[in-house]
Structure 1
């Protein structure tokens, strides 16, 4: 049975942000046109065209931090992590308080197994905005990978305090409890995740595993059957 812990909370919020809405003037105007075209290409799934437009924007106006950020997000989406890191770092160099760039640089560092650098970037993002639950979850996931389980638990709990309906944080918290053999705690957290999101396949799967560990085999079978049915339903909807 597959063990499941959630993936990173990837930030790409600026896909819908056009600089014409920010009131940019003067020499930014030409760069802004390319930026806005890049946003449209991105929304419509034309990733390479979007990259081309963001690069044009940066050529015209090299200090265009949002163009660097979106470019980094697209490189990340394509799996070119080295270029993504370069772009996020440039965005931060221009605008050190750009929270999303610190978050995504942390994500990119984590993909490269540069764990300590990732921790530092998540921490910087949280210093700038302590109310982003996704960054606490990212930090919790990273501490889990580093086998720092107490730290992981603390970060998930912070995420839940900020966003009490954050099903993923409950699931991840439950999984750390499961891995540390605190099965009753794990069961409680998985149940909370399912209460918030009844279609949450990972939480049903994890709850099945936890039930099995405490000898509740009927409940375990019931949960894995629910997970299978939800997976089939999801598959059918994707056709």
Structure 2
């Protein structure tokens, strides 16, 4: 046996027992002795990949190909490594080469489908996933990815069924569970009680209640708070957590952020600067993160994701801190018995909502949002209808919230205002199929295609906000209201008509409009929603006044007062750990707008 092959076998043995350092050394010795040993290069790439050094993984596996590897698994693994560093075109090419060698290679099909779904190439993605499920009908990941595809193409009932199948087929169903529960929030035909039952069943299906963790003796020191999120980057969550990080009283609170984001940007850097400590946890197991939290002596751990993407609810399920709180990133209960509190307000969650949560609801005075508008936002423009343009209703919400029932209501709004238009802007409208679906539904309710404007991505954030210059009055979807979109519209001088529903997701709009002083824009039924839209559209003078005053009204409200909001938040944190509260500042008085 040659020395190169001997080193290779040493590396294989080390890799099998999980000793990555020894495996790396052995495989490096293999290719040093024999640079043409393509399987040595391949295995070295896999060691780099498992060590989360993706660039080095790509380099090593590319060398394996250059040295003559002609194996579907090599091309597939190269594609996976390229996908992890967002070189998606190259990843697709490598998966294609793998499928030429092995047309039934499941991992190549599933990863192709994931990239194609991100690119709105849903028909081709579905072909790959259907092929996998013909080969392996119980492939949990394929069912989950098919559910995501169905959700992205507005086939919500099919998405729910696919996610349910993924839960039963997966060895680790956490992602499929969260996707299933998230999707239920969009479905108008599912009652609030049914949605709660599904969340509660998820929580009860987990391991038995984790044991309580005692509060540490702080000896007069600050309460240590940890924020956990996969969205500490350019994302809606950043608009709300940034003012809190900036306003925390550092004499009384120490703040650590646990970022589960795989991508970082300038917003990440800013949030990091505002934190006392920062931990990147995307590549760490729940057990490793739990140990890290224990080392950091966290008193209160705050989840900012709920069942949205990149959540770490598995961490909370096994209790990682003495006090666990969920806030902000998800419009419902987590369903976890180990989540102690959920932060909300009395409008979004009246007393009747207590029965729909496994957590204890803590209602913050002044609302549960604290919004920091993006610096350098474009100026507010004049009311388009006052400049001779057709009256334009608009919604820039995620199209998943714009169900067929919502479109039917909005069709009635447009028909009630002669000559008016409807402008919808959403990333899903980059897809021709989504555009066709929206137009078909609106036309079935009597709205001609000429009265509908459909827009996809804007080139940049300022361009996104500038699109409000084209909108006279914003429309809020239901039963899942907008949040950031409503605040962005207000910041651009555009008030939003909202319908107050029977659950948190459908009452956020009422909370926001109340706290900015525009209670008159809240309806309590579809009929009153449409009638209110028509009434307001007839009063251009009032809308023109609001156009000029709404940005300042939002800025002056409690919704943009980071200091006030954070003091109220800290009072709740004091209660959670049994510490005497700091004195309360005066809150903003709510008045109806002009």
TM-score range, shorter chain: 0.7 to 0.9
Q: Determine the C-alpha separation between the residues in 2 that align with 1:213 and 1:157.
A: 25
Q: Which runs of 5+ in 2 are unaligned?
A: 209-313, 321-594
- Answer with 118-127 or 157-166: which moved more: 157-166
How much does 1:71 deviate?
A: 0.1
Pick one of 196, 200, 219 that aligns with 1:221.
196
Query: Taking CA–CA contacts closer than 8 Å with sequence separation of 6 or more, which of the two structures ends up with the larger relative contact order?
Result: 1
- Answer with 90-99 or 162-171: which moved more: 90-99
- Answer with 169-178 or 37-46: which moved more: 37-46
1:69-89, CA deviations, whole angstroms, 9 ceiling, x for partnerless residues? 010011112222222111111
How much does 1:232 deviate?
A: 5.2
Tell me if structure 2 keeps the 8 A contact 1:205–1:224: no
Q: Residue 52 in 1 paired to residue 25 in 2?
A: yes
How much does 1:228 deviate?
A: 3.4
How much does 1:130 deviate?
A: 1.1
Q: Determine the C-alpha separation between the residues in 2 that align with 1:172 and 1:48.
A: 34
Q: Determine the C-alpha separation between the residues in 1 that align with 2:37 and 2:198.
A: 50
Q: Determine the C-alpha separation between the residues in 1 that align with 2:198 and 2:68.
A: 47
Q: Determine the C-alpha separation between the residues in 2 that align with 1:219 and 1:200.
A: 20
How much does 1:218 deviate?
A: 3.1
Q: Residue 124 in 1 paired to residue 97 in 2?
A: yes
Distance 1:199 1:78, change over 3 A: closer
Q: Which runs of 5+ in 1 are unaligned?
A: 1-24
- SS of the residue aligned with 2:18? coil
Q: Residue 42 in 1 paired to residue 7 in 2?
A: no
Q: Determine the C-alpha separation between the residues in 2 that align with 1:60 and 1:199.
A: 41
Q: Residue 144 in 1 paired to residue 117 in 2?
A: yes
Distance 1:61 1:162, change over 3 A: same
How much does 1:213 deviate?
A: 1.9
Pick one of 140, 143, 151 that aligns with 1:178.
151
Structure with greater helix share of residues: 1
Q: Determine the C-alpha separation between the residues in 2 that align with 1:168 and 1:92.
A: 28
Distance 1:211 1:121, change over 3 A: same
Q: Determine the C-alpha separation between the residues in 2 that align with 1:199 and 1:59.
A: 39
Q: Residue 157 in 1 paired to residue 130 in 2?
A: yes
Q: Residue 72 in 1 paired to residue 50 in 2?
A: no
Q: Determine the C-alpha separation between the residues in 1 that align with 2:36 and 2:204.
A: 50
Distance 1:50 1:208, change over 3 A: same
Distance 1:230 1:55, change over 3 A: farther
Tell me if structure 1 keeps the 8 A contact 2:95–2:112: yes
Q: Matched residue pairs, number?
A: 212
How much does 1:230 deviate?
A: 4.9
How much does 1:198 deviate?
A: 8.1
Greater CA radius of gyration, 1 or 2? 2
TM-score using structure 1 length? 0.79
Tell me if structure 2 keeps the 8 A contact 1:102–1:121: yes
Tell me if structure 2 keeps the 8 A contact 1:177–1:185: yes
